[in-house]
Structure 1
Amino acid sequence: MTIGALIFDYDGLIVDSERIEADLIIEAVKEWGAEITYADFGHLFGSVDADHHWEALMARWCGRTLEELEARIHPIVPSLKETQPLLPGVRELIDAAHAAGVRIGLGTGNRLDVLERRLGRHGVFDRFDGIVTRADVANGKPAPDIYLEVARRLDVAPADCLVLEDSVPGCEAGIAAGMRVIACPSVVSTHCEFPVGIERVASLLEVRL
């Protein structure tokens, strides 16, 4: 295929941020009397509209609520994520896309101010030609809205877009948008069952434009 746009997810793909939150979830649930692993909830990472699933899991695991979990971990998470390095292959792919004249997009459930601050530290925020967050669309991943809006802003047909994702909901969103998708699972999602037929890599260093 001709690649007109390269579209990144953020959490778990550009930085290893999902591991931080996942480890805190495991620690909290353990203190509340249950043992869980990434395999018990990794499939939910990548979707910001999964609260009802989390509520059911928390009730089953330890009789606690999502509100209690969020109150426990959310004061801790942001500071731990602030200084994370870019994952291997991110900067190389951005450089390669620019050299090839390929537009670069970012589609994420994160907030724009957070992205500007964290990516700005690495000098790459301004290298994205279009950024779409959950606040910009009606539906989050696994709905295609975020990726379709990225393509619209980049003025590239969805069929000419290559999406890089670490999560199952993110891959489903890219597929639903009619885009080619490559999965690069994080440590949290590596055990998950990804959609049949998509390419899977262990590192972004393996991706070639």
Structure 2
Amino acid sequence: MDGLLIDTEDKYTIVTNEILQEYGRPSMPWSVKAQLQGRPGPEAGKIFHDWAKLPITPEEYSTKQVALAEKYFPTAKPLPGVVKLLNDLHATEKSDKPVYIALATSSHKRNYHLKTDHLNDLFSLFPEPRRVVGDDPRIGKGRGKPLPDIYLLALETINEELKTKGEQAIKPEECLVFEDAVPGVEAGRRAGMQVVWCPHPGLLTYYKGREEEVLAGLTGEHKDEDKVDAEKEAEALQAERISRGNHSGKPGKLNDGWGRLVSTLEDFPYETYGITVPS
């Protein structure tokens, strides 16, 4: 959602830089911003504070951040091409070649509403049961992006709906993930899904020359290093793989054709993915 559907990644940057400037710190560079995008709040917060070294506690920083977020988030706007893309995809659901859309965002429920309540016409295109937010209790602790859980859960919400209609379940390899963040691309690839990467120009510049690594989910910059019990984690993940499609949980391979880089969601090539939009 953030930075892909709406311009809130830029608003996060504005909020962060306002606080940094208050304490005479430099603006946040893309080398740091790239690590925060798409990650759950606690993990992103640790990375940020390790870099920023502000003379205030993380709790004090959070209080300032929340106040500024309440100012900026309700002004969020859709990014170019988003309104048409979502309406087009939504329109296929009643056709003979339906595409089912779900939302998977690391934003917690409170922030989700701050960013989207004024954009109800757009976000109502995602049925309520198919909206997965970062603090969804069905996502295990520490299982945010770049792990695949959030996208597998989004697929489950679709399949639960199809099951009630007596329709065949959709497989991970039949899914297309739209992402702007590098850990999000990795999460999509680990879920066994194809991915469209639509990054911020600043992020794309930072990863110049490494685009194929990103598209395969192979940058290796977002590994989880703080697992308490690796054996139990492995057992849980294995059970998850079986129940959610028996995918490998591993990223892709370089130049395997399952990742595509686009600079904007305008004029999206539906035909490339076999999508037919009703006229």
3-state SS, counterpart of residue 148 of structure 1: helix
Which residue of structure 2 aligns with residue 147 of structure 1?
151
Query: Aligned pair in 2 of structure 1 residues 126, 23: CA closer, same or farther (>3 Å)?
Result: closer
Residue 97 of structure 1 is aligned with which of 70, 89, 94?
89
How many pairs does the alignment contain? 198
Between Structure 1 and Structure 2, the one with more strand by share is 1
Q: Which moved more, 1:10-19 or 1:64-73?
A: 64-73
3-state SS, counterpart of residue 35 of structure 1: coil
Which residue of structure 1 aligns with residue 108 of structure 2?
111
Letter of the 2:135 counterpart: A
3-state SS, counterpart of residue 181 of structure 1: strand
- Indicate conservation of the 8 Å contact 2:31/2:206, yes or no: no
* CA-CA distance at 1:89 after TM superposition: 1.2
Letter of the 1:77 counterpart: A
Residue 55 of structure 1 is aligned with which of 49, 60, 68?
49
1:127 aligns with 2:125: yes
- Indicate conservation of the 8 Å contact 1:25/1:69, yes or no: no
Letter of the 1:128 counterpart: F
- Indicate conservation of the 8 Å contact 1:18/1:188, yes or no: no
Give the Cα separation in 1 of the matches to 2:48 and 2:68.
19
Give the Cα separation in 1 of the matches to 2:205 and 2:85.
25
* CA-CA distance at 1:108 after TM superposition: 0.5
Runs of 5+ consecutive residues of structure 1 not aligned to the other structure: 1-9
Residue 159 of structure 1 is aligned with which of 170, 173, 177?
173
Q: Which moved more, 1:105-114 or 1:83-92?
A: 105-114
Give the Cα separation in 1 of the matches to 2:14 and 2:202.
9
Q: TM-score, with normalisation over the residues of structure 1? A: 0.83
* CA-CA distance at 1:162 after TM superposition: 0.6
Higher RCO, 1 or 2 (CA under 8 Å, sep at least 6)?
A: 1
Which residue of structure 2 aligns with residue 19 of structure 1?
10
CA deviation vs aligned residue, 1:9-38 (integer Å, no higher than 9, x gap):
x11111101111212212322332222344
- Indicate conservation of the 8 Å contact 1:110/1:134, yes or no: yes
Give the Cα separation in 1 of the matches to 2:49 and 2:107.
21
Query: Aligned pair in 2 of structure 1 residues 116, 34: CA closer, same or farther (>3 Å)?
Result: closer
Query: Aligned pair in 2 of structure 1 residues 51, 83: CA closer, same or farther (>3 Å)?
Result: closer
- Indicate conservation of the 8 Å contact 1:105/1:154, yes or no: yes
Which residue of structure 1 aligns with residue 163 of structure 2?
none
- Indicate conservation of the 8 Å contact 1:115/1:125, yes or no: no
Task: Report which of the two structures shows the higher radius of gyration computed on alpha carbons.
Answer: 2
- Indicate conservation of the 8 Å contact 1:58/1:65, yes or no: no
Runs of 5+ consecutive residues of structure 2 not aligned to the other structure: 93-97, 160-169, 217-258, 271-279
Query: Aligned pair in 2 of structure 1 residues 141, 111: CA closer, same or farther (>3 Å)?
Result: same
CA deviation vs aligned residue, 1:133-179 (integer Å, no higher than 9, x gap):
12221121111110000011112211111111111111111111111
Give the Cα separation in 2 of the matches to 1:14 and 1:38.
22
Q: Which moved more, 1:169-178 or 1:25-34?
A: 25-34
- Indicate conservation of the 8 Å contact 2:178/2:198, yes or no: yes
Give the Cα separation in 1 of the matches to 2:174 and 2:126.
17
Query: Aligned pair in 2 of structure 1 residues 11, 176: CA closer, same or farther (>3 Å)?
Result: same
1:182 aligns with 2:182: no
Letter of the 1:176 counterpart: R
* CA-CA distance at 1:112 after TM superposition: 4.0
Query: Aligned pair in 2 of structure 1 residues 31, 135: CA closer, same or farther (>3 Å)?
Result: closer
- Indicate conservation of the 8 Å contact 1:184/1:204, yes or no: yes
Which residue of structure 2 aligns with residue 4 of structure 1?
none
- Indicate conservation of the 8 Å contact 1:164/1:183, yes or no: yes
